[in-house]
Amino acid sequence: MFQRLRLKSYASLSVLAGLFLLGGLPNPQQEQTPLAATGAIQGPAGAGDAPVCPGAEVGAARCHSRVLIDSRGNPLATTSATGYNPTQLRHAYGFDLLSGNGAGQTIAIVDAFDDPTIFNDLAVFKQQFGITGCNLTKVNQNGGSTFPRVDSGWALEISLDVEWVCAIAPGANILLVEATTTSFTNLLTAVDYGAQHAHVVSMSWGGSEFSSESSSNFHFNVNGVSFTASSGDNGTGVIYPAAAPFVIAVGGTTLPLDSAGNLTGSETAWSGSGGGISAFEAEPGYQSSYSIPNTGAKRGVPDVSYNANPSTGVSVYDTTRFQGQLGWFVIGGTSAGAPQWAALIAIVNQGRISPLSSNNLTSSPEYNAATSAVYASNYRDITAGTNGTCGSVCTATTGYDFVTGLGSPRANNLVPYLQTH
């Protein structure tokens, strides 16, 4: 059964937040996840970004969010929001032109370990941006109320996922399913639970492909359920479960915006966006019939894209101390795109008689929405930028490419199209 916890009043939250910001005691059970020096990307002035989660062991996954850091490599945390806000992203992708908000839908978010402060953090996020709704339920991978141990990196990932699903689809219910560990065994157990209780499941994590991965694809072959997954944040290369043909893989872009959410330049491919040609998964019919570039009959990744560059990252509030820091962070990575695409699908399902499914290997609604007659209306085709030095596989170009897929959503057109097709 779900454990449904009530959010405290905003007044109480303000007091709690103040105590944390003044140096509240860290959770003694919390495991700190160090920023891997080899994964940090330094900017011209020494600042840059770094992965939130460490590299994954064989048979396990890691989250794909990246946090802005200072010149000493410490995560930047502030007392006020400095990244993109919901108004900017909703306007940039056309969500503000839609009447739907995901009402009546449930979005399952699957992550590893426990975020003990997620209810309070979500309440502060909502108060900051004037959002109502976003009913949150938290369970373990089997649906129970005994939660895994705390990991500060995954807690920051959870805050990103929950808060930005809320930002895009505030009318939807959010089901957070926490896996016991980062093993695929536990994460896919959590996926199974999420798919039993929601019509869309978001997965902001992945690990290296493995030769027997197709034997795990049944977890995503579920009628009436769509699965989204981040494509990775280390540039060219394919990971699982983004490679699974029953999953909508979300790549990353750089999205320059003004304070109102208007584009100040072209949306381009992010250098960290995962993508390429799967080593083990066969090309599904929806890709071969779309005539994506030649893959030798293998699955191409990603399918679509979304803002992911930490330099154009989003505001995330988290008070489970990460590297000693708490408050407002600026987060990017394809982890930001997977939950927001899940929110888009929930809004689509709100207006459909039957929910979308991502398990039809012959025909994909998302690819059908990118046919020549309606492509430019439904997607922003990303035609510039690279994620490596491997030639055409690493280069964004007109139409489908292995860095940004079909492109980013023009939600004001794409949502109505998917509701009627």
pLDDT digits (tens, 9 = 90+) for 101-148: 999 999 999 999 999 999 999 999 999 999 999 999 999 999 999 999
- How many Cα atoms sit within 13 Å of 345 on the Cβ side? 30
At 98, give phi and psi (nearest 5°): -100, 150
From the list 88, 152, 164, 119, the residue with the least C-alpha distance to 17 is: 119
Q: How far is CA 62 from the centre of its chain?
A: 13
Q: List Cβ neighbours of 38 (8 Å cut-off, separation of 6 or more).
A: none
Assign 384 a pLDDT band (cuts: 50, 70, 90).
very high
Average pLDDT, stretch 347-365? 97
Assign 11 a pLDDT band (cuts: 50, 70, 90).
very low
Distance of alpha carbon 144 from alpha carbon 210, whole angstroms: 30
From the list 248, 106, 231, the residue with the least C-alpha distance to 174 is: 106
Assign 418 a pLDDT band (cuts: 50, 70, 90).
very high
Q: How far is CA 413 from the centre of its chain?
A: 21
Tell whether the model's pLDDT for residue 156 goes beyond 90: yes
The pLDDT assigned to 47 comes to: 67
Tell whether the model's pLDDT for residue 6 goes beyond 50: no
For each of the domains in the chain, give its residue range(s) and CATH number, in order of start.
10-420 (3.40.50.200)
Distance of alpha carbon 197 from alpha carbon 194, whole angstroms: 5
Per-residue pLDDT tens for 302-354?
999 999 999 999 999 999 999 999 999 999 999 999 999 999 999 999 999 99
The pLDDT assigned to 19 comes to: 36
Assign 40 a pLDDT band (cuts: 50, 70, 90).
low
From the list 19, 111, 33, the residue with the least C-alpha distance to 67 is: 33
The pLDDT assigned to 39 comes to: 56
Distance of alpha carbon 3 from alpha carbon 385, whole angstroms: 45
User: What is the pTM assigned to this prediction?
Assistant: 0.91
Tell whether the model's pLDDT for residue 30 goes beyond 60: no
Per-residue pLDDT tens for 385-415?
999 999 999 999 999 999 999 999 999 999 9
The pLDDT assigned to 407 comes to: 98
CB 226 within 8 A of CB 107: no
Looking at per-residue confidence, does 65 or 22 come out higher? 65
Of 7-11, 261-265, 382-386, 399-403, the poorest mean pLDDT is in: 7-11
Per-residue pLDDT tens for 195-247?
999 999 999 999 999 999 999 999 999 999 999 999 999 999 999 999 999 99
The pLDDT assigned to 73 comes to: 92
Strands, E assignment, 223-301: 226-230, 239-240, 248-254, 268-269, 276-282, 298-301
Q: List Cβ neighbours of 9 (8 Å cut-off, separation of 6 or more).
A: none
Q: List Cβ neighbours of 394 (8 Å cut-off, separation of 6 or more).
A: 235, 236, 276, 386, 387, 388, 402, 403
What is the average pLDDT score of the chain? 91
- How many Cα atoms sit within 13 Å of 50 on the Cβ side? 25
Assign 278 a pLDDT band (cuts: 50, 70, 90).
very high
The pLDDT assigned to 289 comes to: 96
Average pLDDT, stretch 246-269? 98
Of 36-40, 66-70, 260-264, 282-286, the poorest mean pLDDT is in: 36-40
